[in-house]
Structure 1
Amino acid sequence: MSTRDLLRDPCWQGSDLGHPLPDATHAVSVALPRWNDVIAYEEQDPACRAALRAVYPRFGQHPLVAELAERALTASDIATSKGASSWPYPNRATAEAALAHCRKTRPAGETELTGIHGVTCLIADAASTPAAKAFWQHTGLGASSRQAAIALGQEQNASASAVENARSKVLRRLTRIYSCEGDAISLHPSGMSALHRALQLISSIRPDRPVLQIGFPYVDVLKLPQVVFNGAELLLEDSAASVSAALERMQPSAVVVELPGNPLLRCIDLPTIAELAHRQGIPVIADDTIGSGVNINALPHADLVFSSLTKSFAGRGDVLAGSLVLSHHSPWRDQLAAAAHSLRPLAGLADNDLIALDQGSADVIERVHQLNRNTLSMAERLRDHPAVKTVFHPGECRHFKALQRPGAGHGCLLSFELKGGTQAARQVYDALAVCKGPSLGTSFTLVCPYVLLAHYEELAWAKRCDVPSHLLRVSVGLEEPQDLWERFLQALESA
């Protein structure tokens, strides 16, 4: 799959800026090897942006998607206006939803839909482009790079039999992981589109209400209901008294939680919060992407569980996908199942992406357990290093332990803060001989200054939430643990 072995030859030096991670056509991450590269990326520096040969697909357009978008844009009358943009979607239904969002939020703007090579593009003028970009990012419903490659004639559609074989195998793996029936699981183009589907179903039984998110949020998990649905309120204080009061006051459509949160990797008390919510007739939506369904079981408590299969499940970093599981324990199971039957999802997981998901996830159980072990070892070693102030890892969280499956671990993610603050973090980051960029769950280690990437425009807010901007997040890979630790040791010497 990859011509460059990132386990042994990582993209970590300045010359690696913009290299796809992995070294593959459909990579979903990109090398930002120096601290200054991250800043330049966030500040839209033209030289940095021009160097990128890949991008996380919801935060921008993959080069193949961008080429398709440009072809559609040049054929549109709106293209003559300065700042116009083009957003390819896999079908007309998704593009119409994006169009409706733009017209609702930017009624003075000019937008239209145009078909090109089997996909539908939303064309937006400068006034509507921020809304178009927000819908693209928050929903994760945009056309994938493989769909773009087919539209451009660079790849062929997989055969129907190959697709159904892949679908069957992926669903079998997920049913074993979640110990549920296959009809409880649906596949989606991304983790965020799986959340979009969950919110769509919840809205059908509890309409016109905001959601309540508990715990420091992954940016788009909070933004999706805020921007695209009926609003969201964030509650950082997760005590039973605070949650109970917020539920009584808001009567939200649902409670949304992440297991654990990103990047501090703390887990809320899901059984207690679910009991409080259910007592007031409020469903619970849980995101188990970081903890992984291999390690934790949220279904006895959460009514809907969504996950980004892009991460540990696929493991290769070359496909965007998501899943949504309806719990058989849910008091709303029949209502939600009926809604799922009557409300078609806007888009399903594309055929060629399904093939890639099957290939990547074939070894998911063994791989996740190895990632668990490697990450725990790294967390323990970092905790003992004199330059390290704090290590964040789910192994220290009793609420996470309460959800763990027998013999399971804690996932592939840890974060750490250095005693030297931002200056030390910058030096260590630049010196680390591992791949550096967004995303997680890959077989190769991937490090990023997460708060800068996810919350650059709201760093003061993150600080008020006790989330330091100089924190380094590490998705530990399958490198030989001692070799990986020696790379970290060498970098820590610069702190």
Structure 2
Amino acid sequence: MSPRDLLRNPCWQGEDLGHPLPDSTHAVSVALPRWRDVIAYEDNDPQCRSQLRAFYPRFALHPLVAEVARKALAMLPAGMASAGSSAWPYPNRAAAQLAQDHCHGVAPHASTQIVDQLGLAVLIANAEASPHAKAFWQHAGLGASSRRAAIGLSKEAAPAAGSADQAQALVIERLASIYRCDTQQLSLHPSGMAALHTALQLVTAMRPGRPTLQIGFPYVDVLKLPQVVFAGSELLLETSNAAVEAALDRIDPAAVIVELPSNPLLQCVDLATLARLAHARGIPVIADDTIGSCLNIDPLPYADLIFSSLTKSFAGRGDVLSGSLVVSPWSPWEQTFRDQRSITGFVALGDADVIALEQGSRDVQARVPQLNRHAQALAARLSNHPAVARVYYPDQCANFHSLLRPGAGHGCLLSFELKGGSDQAQAVYDALSVCKGPSLGTPFTLVCPYVLLAHYDELAWAEDCGVPAHLLRVSVGLEQPEELWQRFERALSR
């Protein structure tokens, strides 16, 4: 049976709840086709959860990874797995040890152990340690991938010897060509958050014990990772020079973290000025260019470390979790970071995953400009629709424009609010005949009520930050723009 063609036959109706997006064993998104499905998912409704055939891999264990976890618990000697114990498979002992160290740092008297199971290192956490093990799994992004689990379970074959090395070299060369840097500046990681984890290790080694400062409304885990796993982080929403300087002087952070642009409001800081202010105080800048895309923007002259979720537009398939970290050749700490990276080491992207990443990114130079054009067209038409109150897209952001590469576009992501507020947003969401679920950068259009998914337990806080719960976020795909607009127009007219 061939996979479902999600461009022409999207998962958008109630009967599609739980369908993997894409229609693949290793999908990183899942269909939540109705507003009430999103609420049920966030409320951990067992009826909803039981229908899900995929999850975003950092937020829950992929079914194959969960199978490894169950086997690891079952193999423990009698009495070793107490009530409330959990299992968390990692690709190797080094990654599992990081998770174990975190658990012991937060809960010193909790019980954990690392066991080998099916070629993976599995952290076993008792009831006291389990919440901290779960938090580390989500925020750090270092867990075993579904492909590693499938190989361990003998459900998929391991790659042929040497094929992964060749694929990794091709991906690194591809990225180096886009970033216009040396291949030695780049490293690949199991996820975008794993790349940030390595970046935080590097700045922490240079400025130990210091919190970070995040500027602009945050992607939830970009803020949570330094807050939960490292020495803390403070959020600054005011981006004026005076506010930034005051925060830098007051906090003296290990690093400043920015997203280019922010998610989901798609606004960009003045990176050149921010870097000048931070560097004058001996503070490095970490930038996330996932949404803007390395093909569209060039932060290297200003940011010292650039991390990206390659899962999104670079891979372009929605079925491989991966990330990259670039040490800027213009950074005053370039050699320090490169030396420290070799000392600290990092968890590498798995062989099967790097092969999938190489295959998916072969057309990235042609695909991203197409996504740019399609998103620009949809943003323009939404802006002119009488039911739409506001559209968020980086084409109106001067700071984003200052980072644009020649002839580049503004990315595949946009957000919009409706004049009818939450009630209208629910009606439009339910009626939209496109795939609906988390993630972005897929070849098929993907819509979600982003704030509900990312900030469900802090909706009032998000509202106070100017980010309403009824906002709809759209990752625009490769559908023909006119045909895609007809789908949106039908939903908006309800």
- TM-score exceeds 0.5: yes
Is 2:115–2:123's contact at 8 Å kept on the other side of the alignment? Answer: yes
Amino acid of the structure 1 residue aligned with 2:56: Y
C-alpha distance in 1, partners of 2:109/2:461?
31
- 1:339-358 to 2 correspondence within 5 Å? 339-345=340-346, 347-358=347-358
Q: Quote the residue 1:113 is aligned against.
A: 114
- CA deviations 1:156-197 (Å, max 9, x no partner) are 111232112211211111011100000000000000000000
Count of residues paired in the alignment: 493
Q: Quote the residue 1:444 is aligned against.
A: 444
User: Secondary structure, in 3 states, of the residue corresponding to 1:362?
Assistant: helix
Alpha-carbon shift at residue 264 of structure 1 (Å): 0.3
- CA deviations 1:315-355 (Å, max 9, x no partner) are 0000000000010100001111111121111x100000000
Q: Quote the residue 1:457 is aligned against.
A: 457
- CA deviations 1:31-75 (Å, max 9, x no partner) are 000000000000000011100000000000110000000100122
User: Secondary structure, in 3 states, of the residue corresponding to 1:51?
Assistant: coil
Q: Quote the residue 1:239 is aligned against.
A: 240
In structure 2, the CA distance between the partners of 1:79 and 1:439, relative to structure 1 (3 Å rule), is farther
- 1:74-473 to 2 correspondence within 5 Å? 74-76=74-76, 80-345=81-346, 347-473=347-473
Superposed structure 1 runs of 4+ greater than 4 Å apart = 77-80
Alpha-carbon shift at residue 307 of structure 1 (Å): 0.2
User: Secondary structure, in 3 states, of the residue corresponding to 2:258?
Assistant: strand
C-alpha distance in 1, partners of 2:205/2:160?
35
Q: Which runs of 5+ in 2 are unaligned?
A: none
C-alpha distance in 2, partners of 1:334/1:482?
50
Q: Quote the residue 1:25 is aligned against.
A: 25
User: Secondary structure, in 3 states, of the residue corresponding to 2:162?
Assistant: helix
- CA deviations 1:392-416 (Å, max 9, x no partner) are 0000100000000000000000000
C-alpha distance in 2, partners of 1:95/1:165?
27
Amino acid of the structure 2 residue aligned with 1:10: P
C-alpha distance in 2, partners of 1:233/1:378?
35
Alpha-carbon shift at residue 82 of structure 1 (Å): 2.7
Is 1:296–1:403's contact at 8 Å kept on the other side of the alignment? Answer: yes
Alpha-carbon shift at residue 206 of structure 1 (Å): 1.1
C-alpha distance in 1, partners of 2:390/2:188?
37
- CA deviations 1:284-304 (Å, max 9, x no partner) are 000000000100000000000
Is 2:73–2:81's contact at 8 Å kept on the other side of the alignment? Answer: no
C-alpha distance in 2, partners of 1:456/1:251?
31
Q: Quote the residue 1:482 is aligned against.
A: 482
C-alpha distance in 2, partners of 1:159/1:13?
41
- CA deviations 1:229-265 (Å, max 9, x no partner) are 1110000001000000100111100000000000000
C-alpha distance in 2, partners of 1:174/1:404?
17
TM-score when normalising by structure 1: 0.98
Taking only aligned residues, the RMSD between alpha carbons, in angstroms, comes to 1.0
- 1:36-75 to 2 correspondence within 5 Å? 36-75=36-75
User: Secondary structure, in 3 states, of the residue corresponding to 1:403?
Assistant: coil
User: Secondary structure, in 3 states, of the residue corresponding to 1:363?
Assistant: helix
C-alpha distance in 1, partners of 2:418/2:178?
36
C-alpha distance in 2, partners of 1:410/1:488?
20
C-alpha distance in 2, partners of 1:429/1:82?
41
C-alpha distance in 1, partners of 2:183/2:467?
39
TM-score when normalising by structure 2: 0.99
Is 1:18–1:51's contact at 8 Å kept on the other side of the alignment? Answer: yes
User: Secondary structure, in 3 states, of the residue corresponding to 1:307?
Assistant: strand
Amino acid of the structure 1 residue aligned with 2:365: I
Alpha-carbon shift at residue 84 of structure 1 (Å): 1.8
Q: Which runs of 5+ in 1 are unaligned?
A: none
Q: Quote the residue 1:7 is aligned against.
A: 7
Is 2:81–2:126's contact at 8 Å kept on the other side of the alignment? Answer: no
Alpha-carbon shift at residue 78 of structure 1 (Å): 6.3
- CA deviations 1:93-131 (Å, max 9, x no partner) are 111111111111122322211110111111112221110
Give aligned-pair identity as a percent.
Answer: 64
Is 1:17–1:51's contact at 8 Å kept on the other side of the alignment? Answer: yes
Amino acid of the structure 2 residue aligned with 1:173: R
C-alpha distance in 1, partners of 2:191/2:79?
29
User: Secondary structure, in 3 states, of the residue corresponding to 2:50?
Assistant: helix
User: Secondary structure, in 3 states, of the residue corresponding to 1:276?
Assistant: helix
Amino acid of the structure 1 residue aligned with 2:274: I
Is 1:55–1:62's contact at 8 Å kept on the other side of the alignment? Answer: yes
C-alpha distance in 2, partners of 1:84/1:78?
11
Alpha-carbon shift at residue 2 of structure 1 (Å): 6.4
C-alpha distance in 2, partners of 1:104/1:230?
12
C-alpha distance in 1, partners of 2:99/2:208?
20
Is 2:296–2:410's contact at 8 Å kept on the other side of the alignment? Answer: yes
- CA deviations 1:423-456 (Å, max 9, x no partner) are 0000000000000000000000000000000000
